[in-house]
Amino acid sequence: MSGDIPSAKLILLKDIQKCKVGDSVRVVGIWCNYDAQRNIATIEYDGVNVLINMANAEVSDKANEGDLVQVIGEIWNMARGITTINARIFRCENTLNMDLYQFVVKLRDKTFLN
């Protein structure tokens, strides 16, 4: 069917540069700040910053600085070393064990790449 929303690829934030504009992704990072006038947030993890366009996002939780958040959406821009994701879904994930999460994503990648 045309118009279907693509399934988001689960990736670690540090691997965002392996994606391209238009890819649907699911990423987890730490909520750094939010510019209400521009409706743009910044998330970070392992030294990688990504901008999140929140204009069209379904927000299930309000985030505070330092919260762990998950974003599902499409890569909108990758200019000048800055990636922007146009968020569809946004939610807090403070109870997520990031060590286990990263292990599972790496294990999944290894399993599917071999």
Q: Are 83 and 42 in contact (CB under 8 A)?
A: no
Mean pLDDT value across residues 73-100: 94
Burial of 11 (0-12, 13-18, 19+ CB in 10 A): middle
Q: 18-39, pLDDT tens digit by residue? A: 999 999 999 999 999 999 999 9
Both tokens of 31, joined, read: 């909520």
Mean pLDDT value across residues 54-67: 88
CATH superfamily entry for domain 9-113: Nucleic acid-binding proteins (2.40.50.140)
**Domain extents for the chain?**
9-113
Amino acid identity, position 47: G
Instruction: Identify the three-state secondary structure at position 95.
Output: coil
Looking at residue 114, its pLDDT comes to: 52
Please tell me the distance from the alpha carbon of residue 109 to that of residue 114, in angstroms, as a whole number.
9
Residues above pLDDT 90, as percent of the chain: 74
pTM, whole model, 2 decimals?
0.87
